Amino acid sequence: MNRCGHWQLVMMLTLLIAVPARADKRGQEIIEKLDRLQTAAADQYFVFDMTTYQEGKSPTTMTLEVYIKGTRLRRVKFLAPGDLKGTRMLVRALDQMYIYLPAYRRVRRIASHVRDQGFMGSAYSYDEMAIVTYADVFDCDLAAESDSHYQLKCRRRPGQSFHYEVMEMDIRKDNHHPDQLRFFNAKGQKLKTDYRNDYHCRDDGRTCTPYTMKLVDHSRGDLYTVMKLKDWKVNTGIKDSFFTVRALQRDR
């Protein structure tokens, strides 16, 4: 068994013998702390490869460059594959997206209310791509606790349109970040599992991010997407004007 295998075994055993905890405010405190940590940086820059694997088809890989500022503003640029290279997206709100199509040399504004479809055929839906903070979407209880992990069981808050009714999250105690999220529908059927591994931290450990993420869509024949981080920067001082249509069009 390789090191990763050992680690997973230890993780599983730890979770199995975890002491069941009664639901209380602690769950909500834990998720709020996670939200604070995830939004601690003023801005972040990522470059990652996003590969989707589907049985019977060859894997497809996209390379994306992403800038995030605060909890709302995002700029995405496709670096690969060739057909999409140069395509840029600006997200200013959950349903406000601008896309620059290099082959047409123009920006199109798309106000989308289609949230549950896979982003570019990947396992990630627009909902999953967009969510930054969880406490405003879910009410969480601490379902179990071990020496290394909190296990939260979260229910979608009334009025929220996030696709999944229930979410379970295993949060590591060492960096207070999740290494597994499981999404369920109202009937308790597990729809997706999100694995987050290989955390790196910056800014004196205040901001951490997983270098490998894997999302498995169980309903679509276990189609899965792996996101491998290639570059990551924190607090680069990027301006708000970067997140405008003008900047998007000129790629500034």
Partner 1 sequence: MMKAFSRWLTRRHNAWLVISVVVLVAGWSVLRATQVENDDDILAFLPQDNPDVETFRQVNRLFGSLDLALVGIESDDVYRPDFLRRLQEATRELKETRGINHVLTMSNVVDFAPDPRGGVVTTPLVYRIPANRREVAELRARVQSKEHVLGRLVSRDGRAVLLYCFLAYGSDPLTMAGRIRKVVREHFPGERKYWGGGPFVSTYIYESTRSDIHRLTPWAVAVVVLILLLAFRDIIGVGLVLLSTGVGILFSLAVMSVLGVRFNIVLGSMPVILFAVGSAYGIHILARYYALARRLPGPQAVRRTVTEAAPVVIAAGLTTAVGLLSFLAMDIAPLRSFGLFTSVGILATLLLAVTFIPAVLYVARLRRDQGGIGVLRAACRRLALTSRRHRAAWAAALALLALAGAAFTGRVRTSMDTTSFYSAGSPPARAEQFMRRHFGGSLFVQVYLQADLGQPAMLRLVQRLADRVSLLEQVSDVMQVSEAIAQANEAFVGQRRIPDTPQQVALLHSLLASDPAVEQLITRDRRRALLHFKLRPAAAEQVEQVLEKIEKLTREQVPAAVKLVTRSQAGEAGRRLWREQLRLRLSALAARRGLAPQAVAASLPALEEKIPPDRDEIERRLAHWLASAECAVDLGSLDRRLPATLARILASAGPPAGEDELRDLLRRQLGERADEELVEDLLLSLQQPLEQFWQEAQAGARARAFLARSGWQVAGPARARLERDISMALLENESPTLALPTAAGEAGAMPVVARVTGLPVMHRGLSASATSNQLRSLVFALVFVLLVMAWYFRSWRVGLLVSSPTMFTLLVIYGGMGLLGVRLDIGTAMLASLVLGAGVDYAVHLASAWQARPGQGLDDAAARAAAETGPAIWINAVCVAVGFLILTLGESRPLKNVGGLTAAAMLVAAAATFLLLPLLARRESYRNPEPEEDEPLPAGEANTAAGPARR
Chain residues in the site for partner 1 (CB under 8 A): 52, 54-57, 60, 81-84, 87, 98-99, 101-114, 116-118, 120-122, 185, 189, 191, 218-221, 223, 245-246, 248-250
User: Quick one: CA dihedral 19, 23, 26, 27, positive or negative?
Assistant: positive
Measured distance CA(174)–CA(11) in Å, rounded:
13
Neighbours of 129 (CB within 10 A): 16
- CB closer to partner 1, 168 vs 179: 168
- CB closer to partner 1, 19 vs 111: 111
**Residue keyed to tokens 């997973």:** 8
Residue 241 Cβ vs partner 1, minimum distance, rounded to whole Å: 12
- CB closer to partner 1, 38 vs 193: 193
Residue 225 Cβ vs partner 1, minimum distance, rounded to whole Å: 11
Measured distance CA(189)–CA(20) in Å, rounded:
21
Residue 240 Cβ vs partner 1, minimum distance, rounded to whole Å: 14
- CB closer to partner 1, 4 vs 219: 219
Residue 244 Cβ vs partner 1, minimum distance, rounded to whole Å: 8
**Residue keyed to tokens 């951490």:** 208
Residue among 34, 43, 54 at smallest CA distance from 226:
54
